[in-house]
Amino acid sequence: MQKGVRKKIEDIKHVFFDLDRTLWDFEKNSETVIEQLLKDYDIEKDYQTTAANFIKKYRKINHKLWHLYSHKKITKDELRSTRFSRTLEKLGAKNDKLGTLLERDYIAKSPYQTKLLEGANEILDYLKPKYELHILSNGFKEVQHIKLHESGIKKHFNNIFISEEMGFQKPDKQIFHAAQTKAGVKPEHCIMIGDDFGNDIEGALNAGWKAVYLTSRKKRIKHTDMYQIKNLLELKELL
């Protein structure tokens, strides 16, 4: 085998993709909506802040809340009702009413954004004739289906598995088992592709699947059933 050429992963029949930050560009789409909301509500002026500063604080808070939600320590309503209010509080003024308005408008607009990660359409076109493709996402059902439809990629997937509809969340191996059962496939024929090491990669490996970790980190994690890529088009070397 030539140096730098990866060996193809064998025995895979079903490819499961995470959605946010794996195919759908969550950061860019979220940023677009938040920047518009800040203008709509004059937040930069009223709070003496910049869009970049607001988004930085929001992302940190949102990440922490999603971590708590994925470990069943807070509810969906608690996540949604506090992330913008907490961001405003970090900027110096508590305003739950404005936080509620921001959340309402954000949920109404963000799933209709259509930016995908580089190479997403190309890799889906490449994989579709060779494998059955599925979505396995921890997102909320009322927005994930819209994202898939509006971005034009829903047509590629045989099944769309959303944690809220499945009753389990990644990394719980029960959601992986439920997905493989519904897809009618054995774990040794499944591979998970995602950007979250805990939820996507460790969850899949614990369920007996193989996994591909999409990450910008340079240090490679060694595991016989785990592979690491920096961009989606590297999947052509593996699958």
- HSE-up of 72 (CA within 13 Å, CB side)? 8
Q: Provide the 8-state DSSP code for 21.
A: T
In this structure, how many other beta carbons lie within 10 angstroms of the beta carbon of residue 207? 22
Q: What is the pLDDT of residues 84-126, one digit of tens each?
A: 999 999 998 889 999 999 999 999 999 999 999 999 999 999 9
Are 45 and 123 in a shared domain?
no
pLDDT at 3: 44
Q: Which residues of the chain have pLDDT under 70?
A: 1-5
Choose, from 20, 172, 196, 200, the residue flagged as catalytic: 20
Position 160 in a domain: yes
Are 149 and 40 in a shared domain?
no
Position 120 in a domain: yes
Choose, from 11, 18, 77, 172, the residue flagged as catalytic: 18
State which of 112, 147, 171 marks the end of a domain. Answer: 112
pLDDT at 4: 55
Report the phi/psi class of residue 159: left, alpha or beta, with left for phi > 0 and alpha for psi in -120 to 50.
beta
Position 7 in a domain: no
Are 127 and 231 in a shared domain?
yes
E strand spans, 112-163:
132-137, 159-162
> What three-state secondary structure class fits 30?
helix
Alpha-carbon 52 to chain mean position? 22
Q: Provide the 8-state DSSP code for 185.
A: -
pLDDT at 2: 37
Cα–Cα distance, 192 to 178 (Å, whole number): 14
Active site residue 42: no
Q: What is the CATH number of the domain that holds 51?
A: 1.10.150.240
Q: Tally the domains of the chain.
A: 2
pLDDT at 5: 63
Q: What is the CATH number of the domain that holds 198?
A: 3.40.50.1000
Are 48 and 21 in a shared domain?
no
Q: Give the domain range for residue 83.
A: 27-112
Are 143 and 229 in a shared domain?
yes
Active site residue 225: no
Residue 213 host element (H or E): strand 210-214
Are 200 and 155 in a shared domain?
yes
pLDDT at 223: 85
